[in-house]
Structure 1
Amino acid sequence: MKLPKVVEDLTVSFERLPGIGRRTAQRLAFYLLRVPQRDLDFFGKSLVDLKRFTKLCRVCHNLTGSEECSVCEDLTRDRTQICVVESFQDVIAIEKSGSYRGLYHVLHGSISPLNNVGPEELYIDTLLERISGGKIAEIILATNTSLEGEATALYIADRISDRAEVAAEFKNIKVNRIGRGLPTGVELEYADDETLHQALATRRAV
């Protein structure tokens, strides 16, 4: 059976999403045919506006709708701590756990030579710039426990150590790695609240 072009186009669009196969994509398209038009209009507008009205925080590169994200704007946060993560989803997971009240820095990935992602593709230099501004006492490296995440954490720790030899603002900074609780290879966004709480509570010096 040949489907109408608009249904086929929507199915193909859904297939491009991660984890969505042909059958699931088709099921989603058929479901939307039964949705009231006003809900479809809202859904369509949300898709159109998604990238138009979102941006990266100018300080930490978290997701925001303004110049700074809600975390960076919150004056009650501990501004001497920066938790370094790979993605927006990691920020959401840690915030949900309620175990951290400092600031964040989102790298937007991890070092992965196999995928042609080097340090220069990540927001590492801007992290060092933030530290250069002074007032930072601790960096928590909360990259994933994958090989790429571990390599990224070690790279950042080495960069900070190198700077400590020539720049006073880097000398007394504690550089810690999230501790036990997270199995090797597990991404932060999929960890439960208690596991994240344990990982942050048992962080160790790098």
Structure 2
Amino acid sequence: MPSTVAGPEIERLIQLLARLPGLGPRSARRAALHLIRKRETLLMPLAEAMRVAEEKIVTCSVCGNIDTRDPCSICADPGRDPSTIVVVESVGDLWALERAGAIRARYHVLGGVLSPLDGVGPSDLAIALLVARVAAGGVSEVILAVNATVDGQTTAHYVTDCLTEYPLKVTRLAHGVPVGGELDYLDDGTIAAAMRQRTAF
């Protein structure tokens, strides 16, 4: 068992930081040391921001986004097109689409993807809530913006099946060569998808 070089409070900080995505034990130690060195300008404001976040952040009861209000700012925005719902796997995906600014629609966060191997079934995701939103009327298009993984595509097919009885269009994001991408650096699946979804020039 390795010996600890810091007190239990510091070790706990390191262990908690190591649970964050992209941070292993070494990165967590470096981050902890940086926070401690910058206690006044970084550690204390971060602790306060996390306390406020824990108190005020809620999950939107309509779409599953996170915000400090319910319904969230996007659902409450009258400038959004209520007839279009963009379905995403996670809040991170929603944020990525918002950064791109490609569409002014409403969203629906599934909370993951169907994955029988991991024990994730339809009841574990917000699929029933999506169907209820569509059934309430006023929705003409559902855009499936799920990741191009096996589980993501399985989820997209399942959601499509759940929506077949409603008079709307179900679309998905195009898959293929990214802007600025070079063919030589792309994987075979991406190239094949781009070839299948080619468009007129």
TM category (shorter chain) comes to 0.7 to 0.9
1:42 corresponds to: 45
Displacement of 1:182 in angstroms is 6.7
Rounded to whole Å, the distance in 1 between the matches of 2:19 and 2:109 is 25
CA pair 71-155 structure 1, distance change in 2 beyond 3 A: same
**TM-score where L is the length of structure 1:** 0.80
1:144 corresponds to: 147
Matches within 5 A, 1:42-191: 42-161=45-164, 164=165, 170=166, 172-181=167-176
Letter in 2 for 1:179: A
CA RMSD in angstroms comes to: 1.9
Q: Deviations over 1:27-57 (max 9, x none)?
A: 1111122114364222112223333211111
- The alignment covers a number of residue pairs equal to 177
Q: Does 1:17 align with 2:29?
A: no
Larger RCO: 1 or 2 (CA < 8 Å, sep 6+): 1
CA contact (8 A) 1:77 1:103 kept: yes
SS where residue 74 of structure 1 aligns?
A: coil
Ranges in structure 2 where 5+ consecutive residues have no aligned partner: 179-193
Ranges in structure 1 where 5+ consecutive residues have no aligned partner: 165-169, 184-198
CA contact (8 A) 1:145 1:182 kept: no
CA pair 87-7 structure 1, distance change in 2 beyond 3 A: same
